[in-house]
């Protein structure tokens, strides 16, 4: 396993759309190693999620999860692999959060997103899942899946006045890293 370099805002790869992952790819040793590396990279950087484009791999692949035993300000997000996701908002109700990103280190911005989504995706065995996701976990999924289409949270800022260095913004307790 290896901690991979996380690309930062300004790297043109972060603005490119990713390709679907095929069932054949999932069965390879390289894919399994990539998953281990992504989880290790995410955990090393103390993130809640990591998308493959953030480490220079233009594939529709995301890993998420935080350690429920780790004292953290965010609710638990179960550890899982998301392959080829499709997200459909199920409400026009938006909830705002101060989002951070491993590709935009040291910064936070206020972003509003739908609080209830339907997400269709495949797991690391290529098994199809279709679930309704709400609240904080829905926000995390939307944030991470945006990376697969070359979108970063800074593109969704409610206002540029609600963007700044992590230590200088007053988040009111609504944070997403």
Residue tagged active-site, from 112, 144, 167, 175? 144
Residues 6+ positions from 128 with CB-CB distance below 8 Å: 120, 121, 122
Q: Which residues, listed in sequence order, are joined to residue 107 by a DSSP beta bridge?
A: 165
Please indicate whether residue 43 is annotated as part of the active site.
no
Active site residues: 144
């Amino acid at each position: 396993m290896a901690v991979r370099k996380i690309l930062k805002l300004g790297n043109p790869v972060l603005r490119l759309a990713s390709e679907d992952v095929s069932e054949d790819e999932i069965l390879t040793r390289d894919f399994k190693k990539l998953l281990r590396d992504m989880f290790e990279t995410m955990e090393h950087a103390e993130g809640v999620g990591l998308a493959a484009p953030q480490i220079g791999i233009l594939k529709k692949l995301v890993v998420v999860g935080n350690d429920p035993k780790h004292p953290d300000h965010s609710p638990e997000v179960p550890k899982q692999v998301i392959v080829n996701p499709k997200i459909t908002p199920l409400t026009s109700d938006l909830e705002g959060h101060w989002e951070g990103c491993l590709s935009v280190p040291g910064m936070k911005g206020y972003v509003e997103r739908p609080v209830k989504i339907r997400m269709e995706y495949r797991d690391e065995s290529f098994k199809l899942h279709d679930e309704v996701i709400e609240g904080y976990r829905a926000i995390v999924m939307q944030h991470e899946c945006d990376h697969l289409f070359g979108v970063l949270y800074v593109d969704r800022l409610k206002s540029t006045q609600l963007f700044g260095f992590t230590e200088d913004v007053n988040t009111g307790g609504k944070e997403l890293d």
